[in-house]
Amino acid sequence: MFAHLRESIDEQARQRADAPFLIAPESGQVLSYLALQQHVRQINGQLNRLGVEPGGKVAFLLNNGLWSTCLLLATAYGGRVSVPLNAVAGREQLHYALSHSEARVLFLAESLRERLEPLPDALRQRLKMIPADEDDELQSSPDQTPNAVLADDAISTDAPALLLYTSGTTGVPKGALLSHRNLLAGGENVILAHELSAQDRALCVLPIYHINGAVVTVMAPLLSGGSVIMPRRFQASRFWHWLAEYQGSWCSVVPTIINYLLERAGQEPYTFGDDARLAHIRFARSASAPLAPAVLQAFEQTFAVPMIETMGLTETAAPILSNPLPPAPHKPGSPGIAFGNEVIVADTGGRECAAGEIGELYIRGSNVLRTYYKNPDATQAAFTPDGWFRSGDLGYRDAEGYFFITGRRKELIIRGGENIAPREIDDVLYRHPAVLEAAAVGVPDDAYGQEVIACVAL
């Protein structure tokens, strides 16, 4: 494994200079590995001139694209820390992330400025706001003057590289601080689980301000020498066209996207399962939310593409579990087995549970963060004394090592002394063809302590 992200970019530029890394389907622009290295160095020159020291925070509020992807990688390349901001977060959450992260520079798309304004005076005085026009293509010949390239300072494997803010059920967002080691391990876990190679080409339709987009569909292709089709945003009407036109071999999606694709399946100009234009697609993967077995089955039957259910966390640099690729066993309702890290189910005393016994998932590995930024209490609460990360997810492991998630530790519904897992109710609701999204929750009840209600989107 590479020592840090700079080494991975430099080595790929040396080994496969002309091979494509990023493809922008809207413009048709293709960025080779050598061009990636050049643009990353150019951006580092800009950060130098802005006075951002190694270890400094660089925030950005941008949509997906060549520019935002290069900025994400360039920040780590120069030993700095990226702070990608969630483009759909509320104004208060954005202000909190900018303030708490101590970012000194913010790259801002004009189309997203209204989500941020008005800025508090303290932030406005501290931040250098750099307009980033997403409609401008990257220069085909980047500036290669000496001051555009950062000096080759040593970067520690454990140096921080990415700061993502995670929302929780209570309190303010927590800043998950991920190191080069974490991001490299997360990318390698994706490669291991999905058997990726330099011949693979991912379609990235998830925002890179989420861990799934950043690690699964950017870091993993970078480390394996593959390519990424990078549209600005997901469009159900263009999804299969992008895969066909640009020879995509896999994609990472979430259950909501799967439902959108199923809704318009009859409008697609493809004969799924018997169309040469889609023959190169190896698999699709689902993460970031539980995938109901009925939805997984509908996807595979409709599109004739294997759907690989997985599970990951921001704190673990994305994947911790994945179903293996066919023809290995795939168990609907299970996010699979552990790849590249250790996962156990533990009881309330921290002892490992027997197969079939419900407990909390604990994770340990090089992909797991060491700290929440400026939050020692949350960090201490998240780890056991012997170094396991407490996920907060409840579930069990079967005799073959496959994990099943039954809910969240804080979401468990206790009705009349009976433990009820919301996921079990959700799965039943998803069997109805009219249900797009479903979530069961517990509400206070005088007679039973809690009563079950369900929210559905049709």
Residues 396 and 448 both lie in one domain: no
What is the per-residue pLDDT across 328-363, written as a single tens digit (0 to 9) for each?
A: 999 999 999 999 999 999 999 999 999 999 999 999
What is the per-residue pLDDT across 35-91, written as a single tens digit (0 to 9) for each?
A: 999 999 999 999 999 999 999 999 999 999 999 999 999 999 999 999 999 998 889
Residues 37 and 65 both lie in one domain: yes
How would residue 417 be classed by pLDDT, with cut points 50, 70 and 90?
very low
What is the per-residue pLDDT across 388-397, written as a single tens digit (0 to 9) for each?
A: 999 999 999 9
Residues 109 and 227 both lie in one domain: yes
Q: Which CATH number covers residue 456? A: 3.30.300.30
pTM above 0.85, yes or no: yes
Residues 309 and 233 both lie in one domain: yes
DSSP conformational letter for 187 = H
Residues 80 and 154 both lie in one domain: yes
Asked if residue 146 has pLDDT above 70, the reply is no
For residue 445, what pLDDT is reported? Answer: 60
Query: For strand 437-445 and strand 449-457, is the pairing parallel, antiparallel, or unpaired?
Result: antiparallel
Q: Which CATH number covers residue 227? A: 3.40.50.12780
Residues 218 and 152 both lie in one domain: yes
Residues 321 and 425 both lie in one domain: no
Residues 336 and 449 both lie in one domain: no
Cα 228 to Cα 30, 113, 199, 203: the distances in Å are 10, 27, 11, 6
What number is the average pLDDT over the span 98-104? 97
Asked if residue 415 has pLDDT above 80, the reply is no
Alpha helices in 23-65 (DSSP H): 33-49
- Given 395, 410, 425, the domain boundary residue is 410
Residues 86 and 181 both lie in one domain: yes
Domain of residue 440 covers: 413-458
Name the CA radius of gyration of the chain, rounded.
Answer: 22
Residues 274 and 366 both lie in one domain: yes
Q: Domains in the chain: how many in total?
A: 2
Please provide the distance, in angstroms rounded to a whole number, between the alpha carbons at the two ends of the chain.
46
Residues 391 and 421 both lie in one domain: no
- Given 375, 394, 410, the domain boundary residue is 410
Residues 395 and 444 both lie in one domain: no
